[in-house]
Amino acid sequence: MNHTNLIHRLIVLAAILIRQMPLEAQPHLSAPIGLMTDLLAYPDYQSAGGYPVQPFWSAAAFQLGQSVRISSQHPAFSWALPTGKDAITQIAYRILLASHPDSLAHQRGDYWDSGQVSGSSSTAIIYQGKALQPRTLYFWKVQIWAANGQPSSFSTVSAFYTDSVLSDCVSAHYPLQKTDQLPIVIKKTGTSYQIDFGKAAFGQLKLTLTALADGDTVNVHLGEAAQPNGNLNRKPGGNIRYQQYRLPLRAGTHTYQVQIKPDGLNTRPAAAKMPAYIGEVLPFRYVELENYVAAILPGQVVRTAVNYPFNEEASSFSSSDTILNAVWELCKYSTKATTFAGIYVDGDRERLPYEADAYINQLCHYATDREYSLARYSQEHLLFHATWPTEWILQSVLMAWNDYLYTGDIRYAQHYYEELKAKTLTDLEGDNGLISTCTGKQTKAFIQRIHFNGDTIRDIVDWPHSGILGLAKGKGGETDGFVFNNYNAVVNAYYYKALLDISALAASMGKTDDAAFYSNKAASVKKAFQQIFWDKKQQLFCDGEKTRHASLHTNMFALTFGLAEEKQRASVTKFVRSRGMACSVYGSQFLMDAIYEGGDAEYGLSLLHSQELRSWYNMIRAGSTITMEAWDNQFKPNQDWNHIWGAVPANIIPRKLMGVEPLTPGWDEFRIKPQIGSLAWATIKVPTIKGAVEVSVRQEAGHYQMTVCIPGNTKAHLVLPGNGKKQSVTINGQPVKTDRKGDQLILPVLGGGEYEVQYN
């Protein structure tokens, strides 16, 4: 008998003995963790007046205050497996769902016992038990089997309450949450107090004040910006927020709630409304109390911040670059702070949901919290409330693909498939295979199909354009001189990406004919894009069919969405680098994607930690603690200081600089491809539906060291930077064989666990 056969027989014998051992005597196998019902980690969430309360598992408790309601007839269940040394690979699972926890305690599911189901699936497992009833409390738990056949113990129990009406596909979401916050600075000057909360937040103000007699009056000033001396700026300009209130006092000590005045613009019919249990809010950091002489302690000034529930511990990033760290913190905090309306909106000026803001918001939210419900809820709204820019409507398809890629849950795309098909805008396609909004194809039927409340949609490229919103006619907007033609290169780059995404979604649904149809259309678009927009003389893509002008936007979108052929990439990348940040904060999402797609890590880092006027650091330098709508007031004089589309590094740092991105839906397989440039070290924690991915990189004097922590039930594809020379790579001290692609090292695929990678 050779050694290989002997080892194989010993492994088989060990597996048989494990199966025959009493459960309590078997080696410990950790139970599943991170249970989610319809993408909610806390489906039993209950609150009163916006404040979370302890969840009581009773129907009566769910009917009081604000609570989560599951509206789907067939909710989806997901879980994670331990990360690191305890990581395992699942080969089967069993779900029990019951109408009472006592049944689960006796391993009975009176509504559903899935039995032992073979497979590694642990996301979006669709309920297949008895019909769920409205206004009913249910309980579920799950166990899994490892590759050696050993079962885990059951998970802890998760509870959820069904809504009054159940239907095929309705996204579940949390109520908004209030958090009381104390100031970090209280400074008295004469009869005034200057108060600073450290960061701006959408919220309300409570004051506990003392008056000797009725009739004393305090003037209360709230705002986002400060003067150079640190005091509140009462004339900040643009749409940077400032409000003043006259507060009459009563004799004695009382707590007063400042009633925030509604704004005429952001409370229009189309704007997102604050729910009654929250009330109106204002973004502010600074408070000034004028004409108040009594002493004030921190507990007497309370800001009640409002946001969607957010777990700050779900993600983290730190590096050897202090500016980059500050940019990360700004953008991560912005992702949390701008959820104040319970739906993705542009900012406080309009409080309107826009696809472009939502696309960036979605990526940022996924990268900073293990939270997917608000993105899906926002997408549902936008499907039926399209905005006017052509490219933004196309982004509904991109968001649907991201939803599936990051969650593994195809139900949203399945349910709204016909709507998503309309959002590809194929109705606008001409004989050349490209789409145009200027060739008479915008019929009433088309406008109705895309759910746009207007007459025609228009191309945007970037925003604002020259000569509007306070920009003088001679002052350039944010489009890098883009020349608009009937057939617009940027619009058709989006069209190409939307066709690819709808094709992938169709294939995942088993709609093979549709998948082939859209894939063929995408191929035709790419061919036409090359024929019509590529200028051989300039070796660049031009903006339209009748111009030779080549903008940053046209070329960065061609790179980002894969329209540039390999032989074209060098000249296009060189041009993109030459234009710098000649785009808005919105356009920077696609510029940064293009830069890292081109492997230009050092240039990407230079923009992320830039201190130029067009930089994220400039937002910090200007005094904003939530990302701005524009790089600076001069680029958009009516801008606000609380715009989510300015938070691009919140997703670019995890996705591109640290290179952690899903390859297959639900993170079954993902890539780790750090591109940290000249950073000495960087470390990150990225939340996923399968659990957290942790990556640390350190490089010095030609030595490269990386540690990774990979969740169970996943596979990680590692792609590392080489130096053009033959390198000996070790993983956990053992030499491994690598493949080389250009100057990149392709390592063996790794399963769940902790690994240390080193090479010189």
CATH number of the structural domain spanning residue 729: 2.60.420.10
pLDDT digits (tens, 9 = 90+) for 303-350: 999 999 999 999 999 999 999 999 999 999 999 999 999 999 999 999
Instruction: Decide which of 292 and 476 is more confident.
Output: 292
Q: DSSP letter string over 588-655? A: HHHHHHHHHHTT-HHHHHHHHT--SSSSHHHHHHHT-SS--SSSSGGG-TT--S--GGG-THHHHIII
Measured CA to CA, the distance from residue 486 to residue 438 in angstroms comes to 5
How much of the chain exceeds pLDDT 70, in percent?
96
DSSP category for residue 261: P
515 and 490, same structural domain? Answer: yes
431: left (phi over 0), alpha (psi -120 to 50) or beta: alpha
Residue 13 clears pLDDT 50, i.e. is over it: no
Instruction: Verify that 470 and 543 share a domain, yes or no.
Output: yes
Q: pLDDT-derived band of residue 472, with 50, 70 and 90 as boundaries?
A: low
pLDDT of residue 8: 42
Containing 3, the helix (H) or strand (E) segment is helix 3-20
What residue numbers bound the domain in which 72 lies? 28-167
Helices (H), 128-219: none
- The token duo for 48 is 């009163």
Q: 167, 190, 205 — which closes off a domain? A: 167
Q: How far apart are CA 660 and CA 672, in angstroms?
A: 5
Does position 22 have pLDDT exceeding 60, yes or no? no
Number of domains in the chain: 5
653 assigned to some structural domain: yes
Residue 692 burial by CB count (10 A; 0-12/13-18/19+): exposed, middle or buried?
Answer: buried
Considering 262, 288, 307, which residue would you say is the last residue of a domain?
Answer: 307
In a domain, 6, yes or no: no
575 occurs within a structural domain? no
The Cα–Cα gap between 282 and 49 comes to: 18
Q: Which long-range contacts (CB under 8 A, 24 or more apart) does 152-156 make?
A: 152/29, 152/30, 152/31, 152/32, 153/29, 153/31, 154/31, 154/96, 154/104, 154/107, 155/31, 155/32, 155/33, 155/35, 155/79, 156/31, 156/35
pLDDT tens per residue, range 708-738:
999 999 999 999 998 767 788 999 999 999 9
Asked if the model's pLDDT at residue 175 lies above 70, the reply is: yes
7 is a domain residue: no
> Using CA atoms in the order 127, 132, 134, 135, what is the torsion angle rounded to 10 degrees?
-80
Beta bridge partners of 117: 93
220 and 234 housed in the same domain: yes
- Do 142 and 186 lie in one domain? The reply is no
Q: What's the Cα-to-Cα distance from 255 to each of 103, 207, 211, 291, rounded to whole Å?
A: 49, 5, 11, 17
Phi/psi for 671 (5° steps) reads -110, 145
Q: Identify whether residues 290 and 206 lie together within a single domain.
A: yes
Kindly tell me if the per-residue pLDDT of 361 is higher than 90. Answer: yes
CATH code at position 519: 1.50.10.10
Structural domain ending residue among the three candidates 633, 657, 681: 657
Instruction: Give the Cα separation of 742 and 720 in Å (integer).
Output: 11
435, 400: one domain: yes
- For the segment 570-626, what is each residue's pLDDT rounded down to a tens digit? 999 999 999 999 999 999 999 999 999 999 999 999 999 999 999 999 999 999 999
| Domain contains 573 | no
Average pLDDT for the chain: 94
Mean pLDDT of 444-453: 98
What pLDDT is recorded for position 474?
67
| Cα 562 from Cα 597, distance rounded (Å) | 9
CATH number of the domain enclosing 213: 2.60.120.260
Same domain? 260 vs 366? no
The reply to whether 392 and 380 lie within a common domain is no
Residues 378 and 394 occupy one common structural domain = no
Contact 522, 503 (CB under 8 A): yes
pLDDT tens digits for range 59-101: 999 999 999 999 999 999 999 998 877 788 999 999 999 999 9
431, part of any domain: yes
pLDDT band at 473 (very low <50, low <70, confident <90, very high): low
Residue 109: CA count within 13 A, CB half-sphere: 21
pLDDT at 211: 95
Does residue 50 lie within any of the structural domains?
yes
What's the whole-number mean pLDDT along residues 658-673? 98
| pLDDT at site 10 | 37
pLDDT of residue 702: 82
Per-residue pLDDT tens over the stretch 75-85: 999 999 988 77
Length of the chain: 760
> Is 658 in contact with 647 (CB distance < 8 Å)?
no
Clarify whether residues 420 and 550 are in a common domain: yes
Looking at residue 29, its pLDDT comes to 86
The verdict on 673 and 747 lying in the same domain is yes
Q: Are residues 438 and 546 located together in one domain of the fold? A: yes
Query: In this structure, is residue 339 part of a structural domain?
Result: yes
